[in-house]
Chain A
């Protein structure tokens, strides 16, 4: 089945130790998104790629970076995680800019110790 896959599902990192979360998709969608979600709140968009075009949200901290080496994969890098970065990180895809619905992966729960 076509899907959005996130690895790992649970990640524990130490304060200040860089961490990378990965997302892959078999849907062949053009758009990929990274969201941060805390405590059953609404997901907060960090950035998205339309193909190779990177779009950063204005309030996304510089500590968060992203890479999309090809259509199928997208990475979220947190350069120096703080305690406040502990959250669920959700990857999503969308076929194109006009298709509103997004398809989400299961998420990676990040713990910072």
Chain B
């Protein structure tokens, strides 16, 4: 069974970087696409980006140059780094898998809540 698990700090200071790990079991990240989605207080959901089976990436333009998604295939993990965070980045962050084409998300992690506050 495919399982995803996010981990990382729950509190980040403004202007610092947010770093999260998604650990995947039951499926290789060298197949399919692997993404990050966040849900803000108030329920708005935002696709942040993904990393493909080959390591290529695609990002939401709204995040401009602040975002980076990388991976470690030896550990079957992928990572999110979001730089220069503000209080508006406070959200629950989910990692998720897409199908063989990056159209929708069929497996999700349980989510990790990240608060940006001094």
**Do A and B make up one complex?**
no
> Which residues on A are within 8 Å of B, measured CB to CB?
none
